Chain A
Amino acid sequence: MKRIILGGVSALAMTASAGAAEMGAVDEPIKLAINEWTGQHISTHVAGQMLSAAGYKVEYVTAGYMNMYQAMADGDIHAALEIWSSNVSEDYAKQVEAGGVVELGDLELAAKEGIAYPAHVAEMCPGLPAWEALQACAGNFATAETLPAGRLVDYPADWGTPGADRMTGLGLPFKAVPAGSEGALIAELRASTEKKSPLLITFWQPHWAMSAYDVQFVDLPVGEDACFNDPAWGPNPNAVNDCDFAPTRIFKGAWAGMEEKWPAAFEILSNYTLDVADQQPMMGAIDVDGGSVEEVVSGWMSENESKWKPVVDAAVN
């Protein structure tokens, strides 16, 4: 439901932008939200450096991802550049409805969510990555809490229960355990890799842990709309959700007053997109090699001017 509404809003926003615009209040800093994960830092700093190149002052403000939308509606934060439809707070929809927050369209960062496992688990369940293999070896994933079913570590409860929905839909004998937090998901991956113990987990990419723990996705039946509405569709004739995850949309949001105050900046951010192929190596350079976000992003900016300069130029000139 949430996804459908957001999709509609996006379509409206996309049509709004074209051509050069006024600069607006260049002396006042534009405040961009810095949330809790590295990928978001990269997306935000790229956008921030684009705004700087256009002649704006930019300020990076740390903000909790789950509860920043009130601040955005109040104009304390002016834009957030990586909002995931899979775990966005419903406060976002409420603030959009109330008129304090507007959507700035897709970031076009291709995300994938799925049922995943660290590579070593493939030996414990022959037949992976095909999903049918899980039917037979569910017992290998069983623990004290889930017996006799296997254990699937699902997203924290407040992100929804997509993993549990897949298990029910596909009729797999797994019991989903909510993780509680992203840190808990990572700790599970780490412990499983250290101990070479079995683990089935709901996970997503782009994420630095995908390569750090060699995480693989289970191949699920490719989904289409019918899968989510029509029980008859798919391998399980009696249930919906018997297919892969619905695609995740990653989009941008802004304070509603932004278009008037900084018209050119609003246009730059609306047209800004970032490719996974660009974000992922930067994530590695920061989380694995220990670089600072500013330096890594600056390096990328100077090497890839063609990817962002046209957006800035179109808005300013």
Chain B
Amino acid sequence: MSLTQDLPRRLSASRGTRAGLLVLAVGIVCLLLEQSLPWLSIWPAEWTVPTTQWIGDGLGAVLDALKPAMRAVSAVLEYPMAGANWLLNTIPPVLLIGLVAALGWYLGGALMAALGFFGLLFVLGSGYWSESMNTLALVFVSVPLALVLGLSIGILAYEVPRVKAVVQGVLDVMQTVPTFAYLTPLLVLFGFGPVVGLIASAIYAAPPMARNVLLGLERVEDEVKEAAVMSGGTRLQQLFLVELPAAMTQLLVGINQCLMAALSMVIIAAVIGGFNDIGWEVLLTMRKAQFGQAFLAGLVIVVFAIVIDRLSRALATERRRYDWRIGAGIFAACALIYLVTLSSMPPVAELAWFDGAAASVDQSVGEFTRQNGAGLDSLKNSAMFYMLLPLRIGLDQAVLPFTWGFQWTPAMSAWFFLAAAVIAGAAALSGRTTLATVLGCLAIILETGVANLPWPFLLAGVAGLGWVAGGWRLAFFGVGLLSLILLAGLWDRAMLSLYLSGASVITCALVGGALGLWAALSKTAWLVLQPICDMLQTIPLFVFLIPVLMFFQIGEFSAFLAICAYAIVPMIRYTRHGLVTTPPELMEAAQASGATTWQSLRDVRFPYAVPTILLGLNQTILYAFSMLVIAALIGTTGLGQSIYLALGSADVGLGIAAGSAMAILALVADRLVQGFAKAQREALGL
């Protein structure tokens, strides 16, 4: 009895239910009218606005106006570049190895010394020494640039809360609009050569620094801030002498991520050329599909990343310094080796200690493909048939005799919707009305497929989610931005991109979260995972495209794997970082009150880690969208492909429009997630 009496009250109760019902209603109406009104599923070409044309024309004028000033900037930046380049290429390799090993000893003892020594020895032995030094010169100039840029942006957002939302939008845009999209204008502005790569890498590497600066500053405890105020420092003194040092751990995460991002962009400098760097070697070998050789060249970049990262971390966190005299001894020993071998040392370019290994890695990829061809094919087919295809084109088109063994019929659709309605009805009757509407919407998505969703349904969905997560403002924000994609006529391509990165983000969030948790609980696990994370983040991902292609051929499954390989890293890293940085007082309090390991994990560490984990999810979403361009190299057909088409036809407008559409999708997805997270945090009282 009480059930039926409660029902009206329950139905009108929550915001989620009202939004859900509206979206569901729009979806059902769209499905019913789809046949008679085709414009519901396909936005008619006549309704589009020639945005790409406008952007192209408008930008032409702006570029011409800015060109002289930017060319001057470019000329100025060439000096530190050339200086670093000259210095690194002039120092004999053995002396540089000695210097880094000695520095490693001084900062972190035997382990760091060995890391520096063997790391650089590997680079020397690979035969890519001078190419690597060119790369290093680029990073030496771009990382300080990115750090200063990131620090300033972070401080600005912290000091002037009014601009925080805008700044975060700008950071997202910097990270998601792919460099390829604005490569043509960048080349016009800055001219040809490594400076363009330098600027591209600084633009891409600054946002992680800025975000971590902001997060770190916000988490400085109030007592610390008050102490700074009471001791009478000026605002600048408070900031630089107290608050920034107090936020040091978070800043280090930022520096680390900035370095990794800068190194991962080295490949862009190579795509432009003008600079015989290690990225160019990767491109050449990638073009020949030589995995072993591309992997070797890619590993050189990874080794740099690891050495730089570990040494800089030791510099910042370890208080202890080791005896400099032993460091001097290491250097002297290397100098001696240098003098003795001076005459017998072959030119560095002729060293090839690892070519045999590279060739055998390459052969084993071929061997593996030959041995497991059938197994790999069936793995790919299962993933395509049961996961990716239904998600993209819906059950009604994906279920065929060839894929599932039978043909999907309209009757099956009816049964499917009926079953969904029954489940949703049961949920509604048990009081979970919001869940019921969500299930209804999911059923529509699954039956129609993301790529075929009627656009009013998707817009309504975004509006509903936005309204629930962050009120009217977020709803308008999402719908407004997405409408731009519709008007620009890029909707169907955008949906293909949305489906591919959506599938990857969900996979990464689940798998990466689990791995991050594992790494937080077990030191051994982190010892294994950390180098893998470093490698995935810094090795040019072009390298992994080759084995993925060999195993699974051109297509969406390969692209999906490539995106996941890259986007999963921040999820692992941030989940672990959030969980292991619980303040010791909290842990002690939990232990004192008798909590078990699992209880303290669930009730103390996890809630404390939520903001950090969400930052990780934010990065995963942005990474997944930024990988779409690389994925287009294995033949996906979404916005990423449009960007290459634009590059090929020198169509600046199309490049920028497609790049912006990508950024819009990432931005909207991220804001919705963050909106829900904020609501959740408030509900938890955090």
Contact = CB atoms under 8 A, between A and B. Distances in A.
A158 B647 contact: yes
Interface stretch (A19-27, A86-94, A257-265): A86-94
Given A36-B283, A74-B192, A183-B289, A191 B549 contact: yes
A71 to B, nearest CB: 3
B628 to A, nearest CB: 12
Task: With a 10 A CB-CB cut-off, give which of B273, B402, B542, B649 has the most chain A CB atoms.
Answer: B273
B275 A62 contact: yes
Interface size on A, as a range, is 35 or more
A188 B288 CA distance: 11
A196 B271 CA distance: 33
Interface string A215-242: 0000000000000000000000000000
Given A186-B287, A194-B366, A179 B554 contact: yes
A123 interface: no
A79 interface: no
Contacts of B193: 71, 76
A236 to B, nearest CB: 27
A184 B549 contact: yes
A157 interface: yes
A145 interface: yes
B192 A158 contact: no
B497 to A, nearest CB: 14
Contact of B634 (A147, A148, A181): A181
A68 B637 contact: no
Interface residues of B, number: 58
Interface in B609-644: 632-637, 641, 644
Contact of A159 (B389, B550, B648): B648
Contacts of A64: 270-273
A113 B402 CA distance: 34
Contacts of B662: none
A156 interface: yes
A274 to B, nearest CB: 21
Interface string A18-58: 00000000000000011011000000000000000000000
Nearest to B369: A194
Interface in B370-389: 370, 373, 380-381, 384-385, 389
Contact of B287 (A36, A67, A144, A197): A36
B645 interface: yes
B178 to A, nearest CB: 14
B632 A70 contact: no
B291 to A, nearest CB: 9
Contact of A188 (B276, B381, B389, B549): B549
Interface of chain B, main secondary structure? helix
Interface stretch (B183-191, B314-322, B505-513): B183-191
A147 B184 contact: no
A184 B634 contact: yes
Task: With a 10 A CB-CB cut-off, give which of B283, B369, B651 has the most chain A CB atoms.
Answer: B369
Contacts of A89: 647-650
Contacts of B632: 180
A305 B447 CA distance: 70
Contact of A62 (B187, B274, B402): B274
Interface in B448-504: none
Contacts of B90: none
A297 interface: no
Contacts of A74: 191-192
Given A91-B650, A144-B384, A158 B370 contact: no
B555 A77 contact: no
B545 interface: yes
B273 A183 contact: no
Contact of B549 (A70, A91, A187, A194): A187
What 7 A-B pairs have minimum CB-CB distances, sorted nearest first? Answer: A158-B648, A71-B192, A91-B650, A187-B549, A195-B373, A63-B273, A186-B289
Interface of A: 33-34, 36-37, 61-64, 66-71, 74, 76-77, 87, 89-91, 94, 143-145, 147-148, 153, 156-159, 177-184, 186-188, 190-191, 194-195, 197, 208, 287
Interface of B: 183-184, 187-188, 191-193, 270-276, 280, 283-284, 286-289, 366-367, 369-370, 373, 380-381, 384-385, 389, 400, 402-403, 542, 545-546, 549-551, 553-556, 632-637, 641, 644-645, 647-651
